[in-house]
Structure 1
């Protein structure tokens, strides 16, 4: 077994959380940090914002996981894309920046996770971002992560905001500020027309530090232990087996899919799962791989009668060349937009205290959700998902082979609250489209179609067409007690020298896209690790 030296801290996974964590740790020149990433160092298309469409199935940039078919989603195999590059999913995602609502983090604290209330995490969000549009009590400038409003403008967006006015939905200048509710311009991790991933924000400035070693194409195969203390990581790189040792801590940051897999491969998890695959139980933990949540994303599609408003008819033929030249010259246009340039954080019932669904406005229609090919006719897509889903799934190994993909079971729509909210969400976005301001632009509803109006029909449409919104969380839940995996300082219960810092530790879903919260977790983990390493033994 080849040896890869000795470090103070090893971070496994250079995704959104891991990149922030490694960068912040190495601000202390006394800490020697190894950052391992199973994927490639980069991909030439990644800097282009619209690359999320091209990299959705790319085998070198994407893990291309697949869910196990389930009755609740019409026994379909649902693709589960996750980033396979330095920067993780922030290097291939749709670039939408959402912190969530204060109630999300206050709930975490209420579950017994001290230090994770909104009051606790707000300073971390402020520290990490450079908000292009100014500073106030909620936002700040000068942090490593650049955030700005989407550049794209369209009469469709204006009409939807007017429709919101008619339905009593507020306009909101900053949904990451005092209130989330409203139809809003998307905030996005783009700067000067280029993707501002966690790799760009955190690792690019840190690469010259002598105390940081970044190793890509390094697939972690198991954690190494001396008794109950984690002392290192074994990984495979270019066909060679390598061991790296950590004198102080190992932090797993491989995400909600791969983190429970690595723990189970190392003998940490549910004994019945481990024994099934011939893995000796090192540390029984029933919570590993459980508590999976994700957003199930449903849609309504309209055909437009006004040409030129949809990218479907703006990037055909010579238009495709024009959009490419436009991007090269101005860093604007189709290639510079996030996945949804306009969002809505909406209440399906007026008596709710805060929004319960998120709407995404796409100025185009795609034929295939994962091949990302466009329809030949002009159209608009509105999607929505329930912000805080209740349905719980699981992720567990299917094999002792570290390169075999795990068994992903979302269990979508199993909770009646989720079914009710998703149906009501589709009804609400349909009411927005039919409120009047969009009448000059809309020709007809195409899918599910104007004849599908009853609850059963809408639910059936969701079961047959909705996909994940790419936000898996919770599979190594932060919680006290036997069902928790990490404590409120992200230390794995019952083991020494091992922490987890990624979306897998989220006890519940944050209200929106999860990339911002994942980076916050990496930032907060670095802060806690440095505090603990300075504390007397």
Structure 2
């Protein structure tokens, strides 16, 4: 007896993939296979909010990518952590809930992407959200993704808010209702003291459905293309290459680095790049892997006059026991909120109508994000330019699907980016010098007061700047010659294939990217189901269950 194939195959069990898995199986009609290269999200460090310090360099749960040496950053290779487990980067990120600015999405629509304006997208943000404040015109309370307040105010964050007020930045309680400008506490993707990843919010409720199959430690190696259509995927699991077929669509949700890599490995991308690696061109799309954008963070560190920081909590057995007990009894305190509690959005360049920099205020200091806390009371002011002009690329290292792609961020490549970054650092210093903070911040450790003047500050940014973990844009949607997908996220020129992740962003949004990716996947799910209802019968080409097609191959994964 012939058994029908899966209707949909989702490649990537991360932030977007878990949303798709839930929404596409909710009606019980469609059979869905979701592939995740990493293991299940069983590590307790995933679910404890402060635990991302443990997953930042984890050899299994994190891809641990590096860029190529960056000429604009003193030839440094910049570490790019990406989630490699169910929930993807939503399982290892800093939990910050930021949607971006309405103008970001209106710009997408102005570029020719109908249905992607702020007005169009707000319902999907609301649909996804379970906000602990309750429902309202801009927020939802019935969605699966919990967005929680930080319940206990912190003396340092309160001083930062007061100091920002002296500089004309208003206090706000909501960065996500449409007016982003202001200073206040972030809301977090947490639920009663636990991380609320995409896997927790979306996948857990769906995993009992008979029409959903989830395969972990299953790394995709390439698409199966027939007659100009994606009909399946090849992947490695347990040392064997296996095939699975899709009657309706293959959906790439592997992220801004690996979705373009999979397209190129499958012969979809810039012809010269494919031919250089001996890959036959199935469809020339010159924009695959282009348009890479990321937020570059510059971290200023200060010593704090009193032992009120997370450094102090973690510096002794007594301190660790106290915050551990606080979490066990009340599900609150440092273990429940991670590191970055406060945020600030403001304008530092002239003539702008909306904020162009974002701050993350951490009640902790360390030599690098996820590093060991300093042995003194410390805090970090992390500033990033929201809408960088610089563009990088993702290309193939070779035709081996188990090799990491070549990533070039090209940070600080334009004058605007350099000026905005320096102005953001100067604003941080003005903030640190305000009355409410002068008594608390005793010393600027980095860059240090010896670093003065724009050129010296820019040199510090080049020497120490790092990703804030938001690579995007490498399979951008649109209709121009460099676009990879259309406004319904269908890959140009290839049937049965979509991309649903951060890579489809034409321009990087103004803030953290986790909430926007959930929104993208919510909208994509609706479009996919609508197109399925309106379309023809599914393409029945092969057996439903994945089947081994080759002898065992060597183990390995990008590192």
Fold-level similarity (TM above 0.5): yes
Instruction: Please list, as runs of the form range in 1=range in 2, the aligned pairs for 1:267-282 lying within 5 A after superposition.
Output: 267-282=267-282
| Contact 2:292–2:474, Cα closer than 8 Å, also in 1 | yes
Q: How far apart are the structure 2 equivalents of 1:51 and 1:322?
A: 17
The equivalent of 2:447 in structure 1 is 448
Q: Which residue of 2 aligns with 1:162?
A: 162
How far apart are the structure 2 equivalents of 1:279 and 1:358? 42
User: In structure 2, the residue corresponding to 1:418 is in which secondary structure?
Assistant: helix
**Conserved in 1, the CA contact under 8 Å of 2:38 and 2:217?**
yes
Secondary structure class of the residue paired with 1:50 = helix
Structure 1 position 460 matched with structure 2 position 459: yes
| Secondary structure at 2:100 match in 1 | coil
Per-residue CA distance 1:335-368 (angstroms, 9 max, x = gap): 2113310000111146421111000101111133
Describe how 1:251-270 pairs up with structure 2 within 5 A. Answer: 251-270=251-270
- Measured after TM superposition, the shift of residue 452 of structure 1 is 1.9
1:123-156 alpha-carbon deviations (Å, 9 max, x no partner): 1101110111122211121111110122452111
- Deviation, 1:198, is 0.2
Cα displacement (A) at 1:329: 2.6
Please say if residues 73 and 412 of structure 1, whose CA atoms lie closer than 8 Å, have aligned partners that are also in contact. Answer: yes
Residues 413-437 of structure 1 deviation map (CA, whole Å, 9 limit, x = unaligned): 0011111111000111111110111
Report what 1:396 is aligned to. Answer: 395
Contact 2:346–2:356 under 8 Å retained in 1: yes
Counterpart of 2:549?
A: none
Q: Which runs of 4+ in 1 moved over 3 A?
A: none
- The answer to whether the 8 Å contact 1:233/1:245 transfers is yes
Q: Is the 8 A contact 1:4 1:242 kept in 2?
A: no
Q: Does 1:427 align with 2:437?
A: no
Q: How far apart in 2 are the matches of 1:185 and 1:519? A: 22
- Aligned residue pairs total 533
Matching of residue 314 in structure 1 with residue 313 in structure 2? yes
Q: What is the distance in 2 between the residues matched to 1:264 and 1:150?
A: 43
Moved more, 434-443 or 500-509: 434-443
Deviation per residue, 1:144-187 (Å, 9 max, x gap): 11101224521111111111211111111111013111002111
Corresponding position of 2:542: none
Unaligned runs of 5+ in 1: none
Deviations for 1:492-535, whole angstroms, at most 9, x for unmatched residues? 00110000000000000111000000111111110000000011
What CA distance in whole angstroms lies between the structure 1 residues aligned with 2:60 and 2:152?
30
Distance of 2:522 and 2:340 partners within structure 1: 26
The residue number in structure 2 matching 1:89 is 89
C-alpha contact 2:83 2:91 (8 A) present in aligned 1: yes
1:383 maps to: 382
Q: Which residue of 2 aligns with 1:39?
A: 38
Provide the rounded CA distance (Å) in 2 between the counterparts of 1:276 and 1:536.
38
Alignment correspondent of 2:525 = 526
Counterpart position of 1:125: 125
Q: Is the 8 A contact 1:43 1:85 kept in 2?
A: no
After superposition, the CA RMSD in angstroms is: 1.4
Change (3 A) 1:190 1:4: farther
1:153 — aligned with what? Answer: 153
Q: Which residue of the partner structure matches residue 471 of structure 1? A: 470
- Look up the match of 1:65: 65
Partner in structure 1 of residue 413 of structure 2: 414
Match of 1:171 in 2: 171
**Greater shift after overlay, 267-276 or 526-535?**
267-276
1:240 Cα shift? 1.3
Q: Determine if contact 2:349/2:420 at 8 Å carries over to the other structure.
A: no
Q: Does the CA contact (< 8 Å) of 1:126 and 1:140 recur in 2?
A: yes
Q: Which residue of 2 aligns with 1:369?
A: 369
Deviates more, 1:331-340 or 1:120-129: 331-340
CA distance in 2, matches of 1:232, 1:71: 39
- The two structures have a TM-score, normalised by structure 1, of 0.97
Deviation at 1:369, TM superposition (A): 3.1
Stretches of structure 2 that go unaligned for 5 or more consecutive residues are 537-559
Change in 2 beyond 3 A, CA 1:423/1:68 = same
CA distance in 1, matches of 2:103, 2:527: 23
Contact 1:82 1:89 in 2 (8 A): yes
Contact 2:102 2:178 in 1 (8 A): no
Q: Is 2:193 the partner of 1:193?
A: yes
3-state secondary structure, aligned to 1:248 = strand
The residue number in structure 2 matching 1:205 is 205
What is the deviation of 1:320? 2.1
Q: Which residue of 1 aligns with 2:500?
A: 501
> Shift of the alpha carbon at 1:325?
3.0
Residue 228 of structure 1: aligned partner: 228
Q: Is the 8 A contact 1:96 1:339 kept in 2?
A: no
Provide closer, same or farther for how the CA distance between residues 68 and 4 of structure 1 changes in structure 2, counting only shifts above 3 A: farther
Q: Secondary structure at the match of 2:235?
A: strand
Per mean C-alpha deviation after superposition, the further-off stretch among 353-362 and 169-178 is 169-178
SS in 2 for 1:199: helix
Provide the rounded CA distance (Å) in 2 between the counterparts of 1:167 and 1:497. 53
Identify the residue that residue 141 of structure 2 maps to in structure 1.
141
Offset of residue 5 of structure 1? 7.1
Structure 1 equivalent of residue 287 of structure 2: 287
The CA deviation string for residues 390-410 of structure 1, in whole angstroms up to 9 with x for no partner, is 100001110211110111100
Structure 1 position 101, deviation (Å): 0.4
Aligned to 1:301, what secondary structure does the other structure show?
strand
Match of 2:115 in 1: 115
**1:451 partner SS:** coil
The answer to whether the Cα contact below 8 Å between 1:174 and 1:180 also exists between their aligned partners in 2 is: yes
CA distance in structure 1 between the partners assigned to 2:426 and 2:19 by the alignment: 39
Distance 2:3 2:207 in 1: 19
* 3-state DSSP of counterpart to 2:113: coil
Deviation at 1:28, TM superposition (A): 1.9
Report what 1:14 is aligned to: 13
2 CA distance for matches of 1:504 and 1:275? 23
Q: Distance in 1 between matches of 2:234 and 2:73?
A: 37
3-state DSSP of counterpart to 2:5: strand
Structure 2 Cα separation of the partners of residues 328 and 85 of structure 1:
26
